[in-house]
Amino acid sequence: MVREYAGTSATASKKPAPWLSIVGIGEDGVAGLAENARRAIEAAEVVFGGKRHLELACDAITGDARPWPVPFDVGMAEVVALSGRKVCVLASGDPFFHGVGVTLLRLVDPVEVITYPASSSISLAASRLGWALQDTACISLHGRSIDLIRPHLHAGAKVITLTSDGSAPALIASLLKEAGFGRSIFHLLEALGGTRENARKTTARDFAFTDVDPLNVVAIEVVAEEAARILPFASGLDDALFEHDGQMTKREIRAVTLSSLTPRHGELLWDIGAGSGSIGIEWMLSHPSLRAIGIEQNTERAERAMRNAEAFGVPGLDVVIGTAPDAFEGLPTPDAIFIGGGGSEAGVLEGAINALKPGGRLVANAVTLEMEAMLLSAQARLGGSLIRLEVARASPVGQMQGWRAAMPVTQWAWVKPKDVP
C-alpha cells in the first residue's frame, strides 16, 4: 500500500512555530557569527548562557540576559518555563558535541528549536594540526574523569580531548607518563578562535607549562614505550592487567563469557559476584554507551574493582557492596546478567532470573558441583545452552614442561522469553 507522507498532507497537523534558538558562539564572539545566528540573538526576549558567552554576545543582546544558575540546572526549568516566547540559548561551539543542546532537546521538541552551530574546539584543533577528524579519537574530559582517555592510548593513535580547566593538561600528561606513554607528542591549544589563541608543543614527560589558559584543548600523538599499558580492543584481556586476589574470571573464560553476554548498544549489565570487576570492565570497554553494575559483598574486593575500573578507563562502573539477592532491590532493570560468584547461594539465581528484563540475557559460570547442579536444573526447566570450558596451561615439570589443567567451567546461557514478565 502506498500512503502519502504525513508531512506533506493537506490534513497534516500544523507544526508548532520554533520559539527557542540555540546559538553556538566561539572566542571571536559576535564577529564570528553568521547573520542568521546574530539575528536570533537580537530577536530574543531572553538570552541564556554562561557568563563568558553573554559577554561574547553582548553587542547583539537586546533582551534580558540571564546567566546559568550555579549549580547548573540540568532540568533547564527557566528555559522550559518560557515556552512560546522568543528565547535564545548560547553555547560553546557546536551545542551538540557534549554541549547544552543535547540536554535541551531531551526537554523540548526539536521542531520547536532552531540551532545555529559554530565550529567546535575539536574541529578548530584538528584544522590547526591538519589532522583528519575521522581518524582521530575525540573525547570530552570536561567535568569527567581523565581516566576516560586510557582506552584510546595505542601506538600511533591521535587523540583530541576537551578539558575542564587550566589544571587538566598537567594531569593528562602525568597519566600518560604513569601509563608508559611519556614520549607522546603533547599539543596544548589555548583559546582557539579568539585573540588569545596560542599553541604549544612538548612531550608528556617534559610537560612543564604553568600558565595554562582555562580554555584549552589537548591533542596527543601517542607514542608507546616498551612497558606501556595498552588495552587491546579484543575481549579476554591479560589477567596481569588487573589487580586481583586470584578470585577472578580468567582470561580465556572471560573472552567466552563476554561473547555469550553479547553486549549491545546502550545496555546495562549486572555482574553478580563482581570480584575484581573484570567482566563489568570488559563489558563497558566494548562500547562507550554500555553501563555495568557490579554487586560484591566483600568490601575489599569492591574497592579493588573500582580501582581496576579507573585503571581501565571506565570509571563509570557502579559497584554496589551487598549480598545478592538482597542487593538487587532498587537497582535499574538489567539487559544482561552475569553470575560468576556466589550463584549457588539461596535465591541468587532465581532472583536474577526474575530481575532480568524480558528478552534479556543471563550467563552463569559454575566451577563447583553444587553450582553446576543448579545450572543443569535451570537448563532442564527453562532451556538455554550449556557448554563446558576446559583450559590447560603449560607449566614446568622438573626441567621440562607439561600441561596443567585449570578447573573446568560449566556455562549456562539463557535468553528470557519476551512474554515472561
Q: Are 153 and 179 in contact (CB under 8 A)?
A: yes
pLDDT confidence band for 8 (50 / 70 / 90): very low
Mean pLDDT of the chain: 93
pLDDT tens, residue by residue, 22-36: 999 999 999 999 999
Could you tell me which residues are beta bridge partners of residue 402?
395
Interatomic CA distance for residues 147 and 151, integer angstroms? 9
- Domains annotated on the chain, with CATH: 15-118 (3.40.1010.10), 122-221 (3.30.950.10), 239-415 (3.40.50.150)
Written as one string, the DSSP assignment of 226-280 is TT-----SSSS--GGGS--SS-S--HHHHHHHHHHH---TT-EEEEET-TT-HHH
Can you tell me whether residue 341 is helix, strand or coil? coil
pTM, entire model: 0.89
Percent of the chain whose pLDDT exceeds 70: 96
- pLDDT value of position 14: 66
Q: Is the pLDDT of residue 361 over 80?
A: yes
Lowest pLDDT segment from 10-24, 110-124, 260-274: 10-24
Q: Are 276 and 413 in contact (CB under 8 A)?
A: no
- pLDDT value of position 17: 84
Burial of residue 333 (number of CB atoms within 10 Å: 0-12, 13-18, 19+)? exposed
Q: Are 108 and 80 in contact (CB under 8 A)?
A: yes
**More confident of the two residues 108 and 11:** 108
Percent helix, strand and coil across the chain, each rounded to 5? Answer: 30, 25, 45
- Write the single-letter amino acid at 368: T
Angle, vertex CA 119, rays to CA 117 and CA 120, nearest 5: 100
Rounded average pLDDT over 302-322: 97
- pLDDT value of position 11: 45
Percent of the chain whose pLDDT exceeds 90: 89
Q: Are 22 and 91 in contact (CB under 8 A)?
A: yes
Interatomic CA distance for residues 220 and 142, integer angstroms? 16
Q: Are 405 and 392 in contact (CB under 8 A)?
A: yes
Interatomic CA distance for residues 375 and 381, integer angstroms? 10
pLDDT confidence band for 9 (50 / 70 / 90): very low
Rounded average pLDDT over 84-89: 96
Q: Is the pLDDT of residue 264 over 90?
A: yes
CB burial string 22-57: b at 16+ within 10 A, e below: bbbbbbebbebbeeebbebbbebebbbbeeebbebb
Can you tell me whether residue 354 is helix, strand or coil? helix
Q: Are 271 and 293 in contact (CB under 8 A)?
A: yes
